[in-house]
A and B are shown apart, each in its own frame.
Chain A
């Protein structure tokens, strides 16, 4: 059974940093690209970033480019999202998601339950 468990969310002040983690099980982690998607309160889904199975290729939404960094540790079955220079507009539930193959383009086939990030002074 595929399982994705996010952690690291919480309350952070504007300008601060947070690192989200996503620990997975039930599949060969290194064989699949992984994605972060966020959803602001009461809003729709917004794609944030994707990383290839090897970790060698990454893509970002314009809204987070230069501030967020996606990475993975295939030895630990863990995906990360380092978020810097946080603004109130980054407040959202952040979902970790598995893609259906190692590279892009590929679609998301499994989602975690999400972790809430709140940016507020």
Chain B
């Protein structure tokens, strides 16, 4: 079972914007929805984005998601120190499994 590829880390100053890429294939992202999860240090993951670009209730619109072909992107604008966390993308795969991204650590400089 494959994994989705993410950059290991991204960083920016407070108030700036970061984007996190998630690269998959025609068996997962290419044909299924993408979701994104935020994992704060020492905590369980939390749903951030689902169905490529939808935000659950309570998630600020500073977080956005998009998908094109076999890749997806998470954007965070107005970066805050509280956004320092690991971020994971995920997608259903045609092998009847779920694949997670390799994870990206966001650092606020």
Contact = CB atoms under 8 A, between A and B. Distances in A.
A binds B: yes
B98 interface: yes
Nearest to A93: B44
A62 B45 CA distance: 23
Interface of A: 35, 37, 44-47, 50, 59-62, 95, 100, 104-114
B44 A114 contact: yes
A50 B97 CA distance: 8
Given A61-B1, A107-B35, A100 B50 contact: yes
B24 interface: no
A8 B97 CA distance: 25
Contacts of A95: 44-45
B14 to A, nearest CB: 26
Interface stretch (B15-23, B71-79, B88-96): B88-96
A103 to B, nearest CB: 11
Dominant SS among interface residues on chain B: strand
Contacts of A111: 44-47
Contacts of B86: 44
15 contacts: A44-B100, A45-B39, A45-B90, A46-B100, A47-B90, A47-B99, A62-B1, A104-B92, A105-B33, A107-B51, A107-B90, A108-B35, A108-B47, A108-B90, A112-B44
Contacts, number: 62
Contact of B47 (A44, A105, A107): A107
A47 B2 CA distance: 11
Contacts of B103: 44-45
A47 B35 contact: no
A105 B32 contact: yes
A113 B100 contact: no
B80 interface: no
Nearest to B6: A44
B82 interface: no
